[in-house]
Structure 1
Amino acid sequence: MDISNSERAAVLVQALPYIKKYAGATVVVKYGGNAMINEELKDAVMSDIVLMQLVGINVVLVHGGGPEISAMLKKIGKESKFVGGMRYTDQETMDIVQQVLAGKVNKDLVQLLEAQGGKAVGLCGMDGSMLKADKLEDDLGFVGEIREVNSEIIENAAKNGYIPVVSTVASGYHGEAYNINADVAAARIAAELGAMKLILMTDVRGLLRDKEDESTIIPVVNVSDVSRLKKEGIISGGMIPKIDCCVDAVRRGVGRAHIIDGRIPHSILVELFTDEGIGTMFY
């Protein structure tokens, strides 16, 4: 797609008020799904995040890694078991989760950001007691529910010019480790940081009025309308936990929460720096 210089200039002019608005603000991006598997999309996300940092936004990248965990379990001959969409995590699985998330996936992302000219540091929820958790009430093994969030280590990294890349493994109170849902962790971290925005990258366009028709996207939702939308069946299935995270973040003081389509290249930039935006915004 060739664009003329005047069109390029128009794009930058449109972005300028947004760049001013976000300078010095904190934006938490939850990264997962297809955007994490497809190499081209991955590069686009990494360059978006580096660009955000360069224009003065404090970006915090919180990531999942479900497919990589499943692949590793398969390698050791262990079957992935899911209960109500959440991974059942016994001790052996927890060891793999910790290795894959806090190890390989986390450091690969740091390396990609550095390759794009960013400065990044990999952290996990255990570092600096960032995430403290108890066992989730449903029996999912070592799947935790966050009890405390301490953002000091994230803030220190950001203050020193690094993009914190956070994997969502938490410390228990008795020396154990817990697997934490990355959407939930991102929402709680965004609240603790007083973030201006939480962006959840997913494999859907946003909240659709009709699941079969992507043109029925609902661009803006007031959190007070969510229970009605659930009753009407518009919010259902896998969208429920994601939207609950957005509602929780907004209620805890995050300015805006967004569900955007990670399958669209540069969807973060479209959301942040254009009048139209993309996906569904919760306020």
Structure 2
Amino acid sequence: MSPHLNPWRTLRSAARYVHQFRDQIFVIKLGGELLDGAEQRRRIAEQLAVLWQFSIPLVIVHGGGGDLDRLCHSQGVAVEKKAGRRITSPEVLEAAKMRFVGSTQTNLLADLRSAGLSPVGLSGVDAGLVTAEKRPPVPIDGENVDFGEVGDITTIRPAIIHQLLAAGHLPVIAPLTADDDGRVFNTNADTLAASLAASLKAEKLFYLLETAGLLSDINDPASLLTEADPETLKNMIADGAIQGGMQPKAESVIQALAGGVARVHLVSGLDPDALLEEVFTNEGSGTMVHQSNGIHQTTAFENEDSKGSALDQEAVAHVG
């Protein structure tokens, strides 16, 4: 039998990962573009089901930008973005309510259920999970930009998340928030995921993308960075290597790390096994971002000299 296909070696390696991550919360942020296709959703759901079966508690935060754009266009509502962030008029907010906790979330819940999970759909409004306040005008490129009905997070109350996880349910959260007077806001899903991960003291935060991870050159898929730290992201933003919708994502990664999240991973949501490869192999599949003083540190489960995957080495485990 080929050593690369040795099932017992694979099981031994998997057992090390399970020991390391059992009962450690993973927050998964799914971009709206990944939720458009049924096949993509099914593949993601299958990977999440594997993690869940290994007793890794999961919390999903989802966007729905593509779905929202299409609804706005169909209703003649203007779609406007600045620095990668959506400007939310009252009409756009109403459309967001229809989509985020409507078809976008329902389709995702159905696929997660089909994969054997027990998902519960929420938004930040439910059970006072997220309190927000209207974002004040922001200076961008020499002008003050009013983002409209956009909420900046002030408080996270994660009790409902812990209760759902303890009962064996998978929370699936849409990026709508509210203030204590009941005013509803659209909140950036990347920012919401980072805030939730910090509040939940999550072991990991994953952003599933259309690319393989963080690219030093957005036009070159081969320019994948396998590791980065906050300074790397800040420099790439300053140099223009990170821009558009990737900029708020990078900013939220920095926010999550500053909030105490140990590792943030940028991983393909299109590759059917990328998430599992990132978690269960030493090499990973995407980009792992952590504080610079943690790069290349080993754990009790890692062989310092090994670089292969868990499928062909006995004594390695994913550092991240």
| Alignment TM-score, normalising by the size of structure 2 | 0.82
Structure 1 SS opposite 2:218: coil
**Number of residues paired by the alignment?**
281
Structure 1 SS opposite 2:148: coil
Distance (Å, rounded) in 2 between the aligned partners of 1:66 and 1:194: 27
Match for 2:283: what amino acid?
E
Q: 1:132 to 1:98 in 2, by over 3 A?
A: same
Structure 2 SS opposite 1:51: helix
The Cα of 1:74 is off from its aligned counterpart by 2.8
1:44-101 per-position Cα deviation (integer Å, ceiling 9, x unaligned): 1011112211110000010001111122223333232223332222222212211211
Q: 1:25 to 1:174 in 2, by over 3 A?
A: same
Larger radius of gyration: 2
Distance (Å, rounded) in 2 between the aligned partners of 1:64 and 1:210: 25
Distance (Å, rounded) in 1 between the aligned partners of 2:273 and 2:59: 17
Distance (Å, rounded) in 2 between the aligned partners of 1:106 and 1:258: 23
State the match for 2:181 in structure 1: 174
Contact 2:35 2:104 in 1 (8 A): no
State the match for 2:213 in structure 1: 206
Residues 52-201 of structure 1: pairs in structure 2 closer than 5 A: 52-138=51-137, 139-201=146-208
Q: Which moved more, 1:148-157 or 1:259-268?
A: 259-268
State the match for 1:274 in structure 2: 281
Q: 1:242 to 1:154 in 2, by over 3 A?
A: same
Unaligned runs of 5+ in 2: 138-145, 291-320
By percentage of residues, which structure has more helix? 1
Distance (Å, rounded) in 2 between the aligned partners of 1:206 and 1:188: 21
Q: 1:225 to 1:93 in 2, by over 3 A?
A: closer
Contact 1:33 1:202 in 2 (8 A): no
Q: Which moved more, 1:151-160 or 1:92-101?
A: 92-101
The Cα of 1:241 is off from its aligned counterpart by 1.6
Structure 2 SS opposite 1:185: helix
Unaligned runs of 5+ in 1: none
Q: 1:222 to 1:175 in 2, by over 3 A?
A: same
The Cα of 1:104 is off from its aligned counterpart by 2.3
Contact 2:93 2:149 in 1 (8 A): yes
RMSD: 2.1
The Cα of 1:182 is off from its aligned counterpart by 0.5
Match for 1:179: what amino acid?
N
Residues 32-71 of structure 1: pairs in structure 2 closer than 5 A: 32-71=31-70
Q: 1:11 to 1:34 in 2, by over 3 A?
A: farther
Identity within the alignment, % = 29
| Alignment TM-score, normalising by the size of structure 1 | 0.92
Contact 2:41 2:108 in 1 (8 A): no
Match for 2:84: what amino acid?
G
Distance (Å, rounded) in 1 between the aligned partners of 2:9 and 2:275: 19
